Chain A
């Protein structure tokens, strides 16, 4: 039972354009959401997070939006750069736990 889903396994975007990566979840008790980025042969690195009390969090070119009623979050990258090409995982956690539930990942390719 996949509690965190990333329905698009891959996404291809032109450099300079917006990349939108989507993530859906089923457990309404999740209260903290994160995005990780992973390059080949490296471990995932933390990108950005959002608490369930917010609906938007921004950090430079990266913005995460949370729609609790739809149980949906998205990561926007503007403008996209070739160095953003990686696999992106969304993850969720329950209140007061360290355990993360990861999605299946979306491979983003940014082409010139």
Chain B
């Protein structure tokens, strides 16, 4: 059974803090993705990774960075959190081109 887990369901941080969001998948998938979901905007791709230590910018990478040191783990980093980064963050993975993306449960981040 496919499983994507995210380290926190809810997170409250202060402006300027460094924030780490972790995602782990147990399906040996090569591709992993970070999205944010905002009302009226749908899901927007922040960063994705096709392999360990590889990363590519998505549609809204500004203010974010990522790390993929191991195949199963993909971390999203907010170097200096700002209030406009308050959002629902979703991680997904897929085994290859044309395959379904499997999502984690999401992390709801509030930046005060």
Q: Which residues of A contact B (CB under 8 A)?
A: 4, 6, 9, 32, 34, 36, 41-46, 49, 89, 91, 96-100, 102-105
Contact = CB atoms under 8 A, between A and B. Distances in A.
Given A49-B100, A98-B94, A100-B101, A43 B106 contact: yes
Contacts of B9: 41
Contacts, number: 58
Q: How large is the interface on B (under 10, 10 to 19, 20 to 34, 35 or more residues)?
A: 20 to 34
A99 B90 contact: no
Given A36-B103, A99-B45, A102-B43, 15 more contacts: A32-B98, A42-B105, A42-B106, A43-B92, A44-B43, A44-B103, A46-B101, A89-B43, A96-B97, A96-B98, A98-B94, A98-B101, A99-B48, A102-B35, A102-B44
B106 A9 contact: no
B104 A43 contact: yes
Given A43-B90, A43-B106, A46-B102, A98 B42 contact: no
